[in-house]
Amino acid sequence: MIADGSIHVYAPLKGRALAGARGDVTARIFTTHLEAELVSIAGVYRTFDTALDAAVAKKPAQIRLADASQIIIESL
């Protein structure tokens, strides 16, 4: 899934999600059930080759950028 702005998923987020495709560093990804293998905000990517942190795996989460270069994943 690719979006110029934020992405809201009211179901399990599996596979790939790319928000802020045109460089919007304020874009975010929201989901009620995080199971993604790759996420991106404004061209900054993060893969989950290993298991997600237990605090966010299969739980509601928000994904955002900090300092325009670091992906932050927070439990909701």
Where exactly are the structural domains of the chain? Answer: 7-75
Q: Helices H, strands E: what count in the chain? A: 0, 5
Query: Quick one: CATH architecture of 7-75?
Result: 3 Solenoid (2.160)
Contact 50, 72 (CB under 8 A): no
The tens digit of pLDDT for each residue in 12-63 reads: 999 999 999 999 999 999 999 999 999 999 999 999 888 788 889 899 999 9
Which pLDDT score is estimated for 69?
87
CB count in 10 Å sphere of residue 72: 13
